[in-house]
Chain A
Amino acid sequence: MKSLSLKRLLVTSALLLWSLTSLASSQFTGPSRDANGNVVPTPKGEQCVEPTADMRANHMKYLLHKRDLTMYDGIRTKQHSIVACIDCHATPNEDGKIVRIHDDSNQHFCASCHAVASVKLDCFECHADRPVEAFSDADYDPVQQLDEALAHSDKPHALMNRKVQ
């Protein structure tokens, strides 16, 4: 328990330090940038669902709580839902492109902080890392996807072995 709280204290202070430095640097540049100079996407809304400091420290607890409410009880309000977080925070970068969590630039809202804090997050192994509107019709259409995959590949794709009913 002791080592756990010590670890938490360290992480919190690291986050605090980081947020202070990022705050300081953002005063001198246009778009907000983190300690490494990476652009942090500006969220769509004006105010987060909780105060920023609270979210920095506790967002994972809110998400964990909401995930159980959604899965077991079917409560699908936007408050603290990972889909709603992404809808607001995963905004396009300076070039107008929707950034993805695994992009090397670490411009994804979650990645921009987690990379600096060196905390691995695996939410997006399963969950969508971009907002609902960033999905095209092709994302919902397996056949179209297959065609696109084949069009952009010069070697035989694994999907070519599919059996058509």
Chain B
Amino acid sequence: MSHLDQETDMKNTAKSSAPNKIDQYRRRFLGGSVAAVAGVAIAPGVFLQTVNAKPADQEVTANNRWGLLIDTTKCASGCSDCVSACNKEHGLREIHGPETDAQWIRKVTLKNKSTGHTINLPMMCQHCEKPPCVDVCPTGASFRRVDGIVLVDKHICIGCRYCMMACPYKARSFIHETLTDQLPHAPRGKGTVESCTLCVHKVDRGDGNTACAEACSHGAILFGDLNDRSSEISRRLATTGGRELRAELGLNLGVRYQGL
């Protein structure tokens, strides 16, 4: 087989990336409409149970919307187990100190000066439905996966840091230094922007939890599917409620807070 034949063959077997994306968007649109019709057709009030573990060869779908519910009344002062767990999970190491090091999750303490009331909470990417970082990205590197996880395609990130400016939650970090010994499931590199991935590798594996939620011994972080009415996160949101930070921006966040 000549080199040109192989070229054509590749195009037939493996889809090339540019037209492929358009096809995918079309398919998603069609898939979405079909699913919506099917949902209505089954019966009102009857929902198919969504299973957390999807087969590895299947695409993620908009049937899921992954999110976190954080109970600030349980979040303990001086505890940073979630931060350590996140760093360990993704191989984040201290290089030049907190001013320039990557922070995917950070502990924030709020104090009401008049009453002295203190609130502790972990802050991370809020996984907006309408993410400002995606709006401003000039290369399309910032994107939102259909299941609600906001990510950076570091292959096409040029490190301009517009997304860092646009993010109302200061959730993104820029990598200044050449990194070594990155973990297989968490590729990271110099000159790109990164943030909390909602442990996307764990979600895809079907773990049904994030490293921070697993590490929180106080039970302050709950991971779950906001689209699944029967999930614990949805039930707790329905009964006890949860606030979006800066809700006035209308970004429809994937991370909700209680006790604020």
Q: Say if the beta carbon of B59 comes within 8 Å of chain A.
A: yes
A140-165 interface code vs B (CB 8 A; 1 in, 0 out): 11110110000000000011011101
- Give B165-186 interface residues, CB cut-off 8 Å to A: 178-179, 181-185
Whether B88 lies near A141 (C-beta < 8 A) is yes
User: What is the minimal beta-carbon distance from B182 to any residue of chain A, in angstroms?
Assistant: 6
Q: Say if the beta carbon of A73 comes within 8 Å of chain B.
A: yes
Of B10, B107, B192, which contacts A58 at CB under 8 A? B10
Q: 11 A-B Cβ contacts within 8 A? A: A12-B3, A58-B6, A58-B10, A76-B201, A86-B184, A126-B154, A126-B192, A128-B183, A132-B184, A142-B93, A146-B94
Q: Say if the beta carbon of A1 comes within 8 Å of chain B.
A: no
Whether A65 lies near B179 (C-beta < 8 A) is no
Chain B residues positioned under 8 Å from A46 (CB to CB): none
User: What is the minimal beta-carbon distance from A67 to any residue of chain B, in angstroms?
Assistant: 7
- Give B61-106 interface residues, CB cut-off 8 Å to A: 78, 80, 83-84, 87-89, 91-98
Whether A128 lies near B182 (C-beta < 8 A) is yes
Chain B residues positioned under 8 Å from A162 (CB to CB): 94, 97
Q: Looking at A57, A128, A158, A163, which has the most chain B CB atoms within 10 Å of its CB? A: A128
Whether A165 lies near B205 (C-beta < 8 A) is no
Whether B188 lies near A72 (C-beta < 8 A) is no
Whether A67 lies near B88 (C-beta < 8 A) is no
Chain A residues positioned under 8 Å from B33 (CB to CB): none
Whether B189 lies near A74 (C-beta < 8 A) is no
Instruction: Report the nearest A residue to B101, measured CB to CB.
Output: A162
Chain B residues positioned under 8 Å from A94 (CB to CB): none
Q: Say if the beta carbon of B15 comes within 8 Å of chain A.
A: yes
Docked pose: A77 CA to B59 CA in angstroms: 11
User: What is the minimal beta-carbon distance from B193 to any residue of chain A, in angstroms?
Assistant: 13
User: What is the minimal beta-carbon distance from A123 to any residue of chain B, in angstroms?
Assistant: 9
Instruction: Report the nearest B residue to A67, measured CB to CB.
Output: B155
Assuming the contacts A126-B154, A128-B183, A162-B97, asked whether A74 and B59 have C-beta atoms less than 8 A apart, the reply is yes
Instruction: Report the nearest A residue to B93, measured CB to CB.
Output: A142
B16-54 interface code vs A (CB 8 A; 1 in, 0 out): 110011001000000000000000000000000000001
Q: Say if the beta carbon of B255 comes within 8 Å of chain A.
A: no
Whether B151 lies near A139 (C-beta < 8 A) is no
Q: Say if the beta carbon of B58 comes within 8 Å of chain A.
A: yes
Whether B6 lies near A125 (C-beta < 8 A) is no
Q: How large is the interface on B (under 10, 10 to 19, 20 to 34, 35 or more residues)?
A: 35 or more
Whether B6 lies near A72 (C-beta < 8 A) is no
A107-131 interface code vs B (CB 8 A; 1 in, 0 out): 0000000000000000001111001
Q: Say if the beta carbon of B219 comes within 8 Å of chain A.
A: no
Of A57, A83, A131, A139, which contacts B181 at CB under 8 A? A139
Assuming the contacts A83-B184, A142-B93, asked whether A64 and B6 have C-beta atoms less than 8 A apart, the reply is no
Q: Say if the beta carbon of A44 comes within 8 Å of chain B.
A: no
Docked pose: A83 CA to B182 CA in angstroms: 12
Q: Say if the beta carbon of B153 comes within 8 Å of chain A.
A: yes
User: What is the minimal beta-carbon distance from A50 to any residue of chain B, in angstroms?
Assistant: 10
Instruction: Report the nearest A residue to B17, measured CB to CB.
Output: A68
Whether B88 lies near A165 (C-beta < 8 A) is no
Assuming the contacts A72-B145, A126-B154, asked whether A161 and B54 have C-beta atoms less than 8 A apart, the reply is no
Whether A159 lies near B95 (C-beta < 8 A) is yes
Top 5 closest pairs, chain A to chain B, by CB:
A126-B189, A74-B60, A73-B59, A126-B187, A128-B184
